[in-house]
Amino acid sequence: MGLSREIKFKRILLKLSGESLAGDAKIGISVSHLKYFSQEVKSVFDLGVQVAIVIGGGNIFRGISSDDFNIARDEADKMGMLATVINALALKSAFEKENLPARVLSSIPVGTFVEPFSNESAIQHLNAGRIVILAGGTGNPYFTTDTAGVLRAIEIDAEAILKGTRVDGVYNADPEKFEDAILFDHLTYMEVVQRKLKVMDITAITLAMENQLPIIVFNFNKSGNLKKVVMGEPVGTKVQG
């Protein structure tokens, strides 16, 4: 379908946590959540928006949990990167069941399961009308999938990185613990750093700031929010220069 003049972002990178795929179980992959994800993405894909996705792997294994398992951090991070490939393949299957063409590109080699990542390949798939799921993080240990999301957004010339969470945006305190927590509509990159707000890790924020990449943090669990963000409606918290 052709792009509407009302659409704010024509090419986005959607960053989702692995935990969001697990639902109430907190671990593994929920079939109902996969279907919900595919329906939300379809709502913007059908508008003509080009969609790339970076998914975490925390529902299977988190590298930062390495101490609990007595595993070296770099090895644990590699396990986490492999977990993102599993989640990416699950998303691809869910999208295809909704008749959404999708490809998985990985920054780590995984044989014949997925394509290797390159920004040229990702852009070609986007221009061809396919959803691109970017797995494997940055391909290096010690970097979060938030950093991977910002890096990939820059590489594919996304107009914004949309971070889907389970709360309505960025607050001055944890809204799940403090009822009087205040929601921010807008923040600068430096305000995020100086206030030590938990938007993304400092590496991701710095990279976004250096490249003037807008970050929009919103509640992905509210149906229709993704479409509202793409249409430029005041949803969530926008972080920019």
Helix axes 145-155 and 119-127, enclosed angle (nearest 10) = 70
Q: What is the CATH number of the domain that holds 190?
A: 3.40.1160.10
Asked if residue 98 belongs to a domain, the reply is: yes
Asked if residue 23 belongs to a domain, the reply is: yes
Q: Which of 2-11, 53-62, 189-198 has the lowest mean pLDDT?
A: 2-11
Domain containing residue 65 = 11-240
User: What pLDDT does residue 163 have?
Assistant: 98
pLDDT digits (tens, 9 = 90+) for 140-153: 999 999 999 999 99
Where residue 1 falls among pLDDT bands split at 50, 70, 90? Answer: very low
User: What pLDDT does residue 25 have?
Assistant: 79
Asked if residue 3 belongs to a domain, the reply is: no
Beta strand 170-171 pairing with 183-184: antiparallel
pLDDT digits (tens, 9 = 90+) for 74-121: 898 999 999 999 999 999 999 999 999 999 999 999 988 999 999 999
Asked if residue 51 belongs to a domain, the reply is: yes
Asked if residue 228 belongs to a domain, the reply is: yes
φ and ψ at residue 149, rounded to 5 degrees: -60, -45
219 sits in which H/E element: strand 215-219
Asked if residue 70 belongs to a domain, the reply is: yes
Asked if residue 56 belongs to a domain, the reply is: yes
pLDDT digits (tens, 9 = 90+) for 53-79: 999 999 998 755 556 678 888 898 999
- Domain count for the chain: 1
Asked if residue 90 belongs to a domain, the reply is: yes
User: What pLDDT does residue 64 have?
Assistant: 57
If one counts every other C-beta atom within 10 angstroms of the C-beta of residue 178, the result is 11
User: What pLDDT does residue 157 have?
Assistant: 98
What's the chain's average pLDDT? 93
